[in-house]
Amino acid sequence: MQVNNKFTMTVLSRSANESFARACVSAFAAQLDPTLDEISDIKTAVSEAVTNCIVHAYKNKIGNIYITAELLEPNIIRIKIRDRGCGIENIEKAMEPLFTTAGGERAGLGFAVMQSFMDAVSVKSAPQKGTTVTMSKKISRRFKLNA
Amino acid sequence: MSVEINVTGEVVTAYLSGEIDHHNAKEMRESIDNAIELNMPTLLVLDFKNVSFMDSSGIGLVMGRYRNLAKSGAELHITGAEAGIGKMLKLAGIEKLAKLEGR
Ligand SMILES: Nc1ncnc2c1ncn2[C@@H]1O[C@H](COP(=O)(O)OP(=O)(O)OP(=O)(O)O)[C@@H](O)[C@H]1O
Ligand SMILES: [Mg+2]
């Protein structure tokens, strides 16, 4: 697939970067002229993946979160969010709705949200090495009055 | 402040505002739980009218408060959720735990 544009950023796993990261990716996605609903879906999915790096991957420590977003033909955004944290033992289990290893205040719905708000989500992970979440979404082409 | 609390008789209403994510949820959670402990309401209303963004951390917040209230048999209502927030609440099946009212 042809890559028309791309940006990469690295942030520390500080919770203040949750809103920063989703704002950056959604500002980049604006180049595809998404609807407000599409922007909101992308923001939410990014927030889920970045929060997982902070809460799970780098639990009790601070590490780098690597974020890449690409704009592909035809009008698709592909987002990669990678950490070098603790990794996931059983990815299938982790992706089940309501499954959480955090207990208490977490719902276990992050992956379910990513899957329902994006068109495709894939997860690669190795224990003690880290996790990469790749998600993509096709943005509807809207009729432009002033094209 | 991201939460404003109003107490009327046995009803505690928490007006949430801004973005609910993992970064902000802790403070919101604490002020709601304080109000529950202090006032022992029979009904907690969570008002989302001024919430512009919410991820699954917000769902965790709602579910956690539901569990707290269930101990004393109190009810939970949710009001004012706009489309995006409503989508999250629906995905989580919150309508099984709380009465949802439009804005
Ligand atoms: N980047 C990651 N590194 C290590 N473990 C992860 C990562 N992302 C997810 N997990 C594991 O997968 C589980 C499920 O993740 P998911 O986002 O669906 O739920 P959650 O984060 O536990 O709760 P919620 O997202 O609803 O707050 C987590 O509890 C955690 O064990
Ligand atoms: Mg999560």
**Distance in angstroms (rounded) separating the CA atoms of residues B22 and A47:** 9
Owner of token pair 């304080």: B34
Q: Alpha carbon of A90 to those of A96, A105, B18: distances in Å? A: 10, 22, 35
Q: Which CATH number fits domain A3-138: 3.30.565.10, 3.40.190.10, 3.40.50.300, 3.60.15.10?
A: 3.30.565.10
Residue pair A25/A45 in contact by the 8 Å Cβ criterion:
no
Domains defined along chain B, listed by start: 2-102 (3.30.750.24)
Please tell me the number of Cα atoms within 13 Å of A60 on its side-chain side.
2
A3-37 residue pLDDT tens:
999 999 999 999 999 999 999 999 999 999 999 99
Q: Which of B21, B59, B84 sits opposite A107 (nearest CB)?
A: B59
State whether the beta carbon of A85 lies less than 6 angstroms from ligand 1.
Answer: yes
ipTM: 0.93
Out of A103-107, A108-112, B6-10, B84-88, pick the least confident. A103-107
Distance (Å) from the alpha carbon of B6 to chain A's nearest alpha carbon: 24
Residue A146: per-residue pLDDT: 53
pTM over 0.90: yes
What's the rounded mean pLDDT across residues B9-24? Answer: 97
Work out the burial of residue B96: count CB atoms within 10 Å of its CB; fewer than 13 is exposed, 13-18 middle, 19 or more buried: exposed
B31-43 residue pLDDT tens:
999 999 999 999 9
A112 Cα: distance to centroid of ligand 2 (angstroms): 9
**Distance in angstroms (rounded) separating the CA atoms of residues A59 and A7:** 27
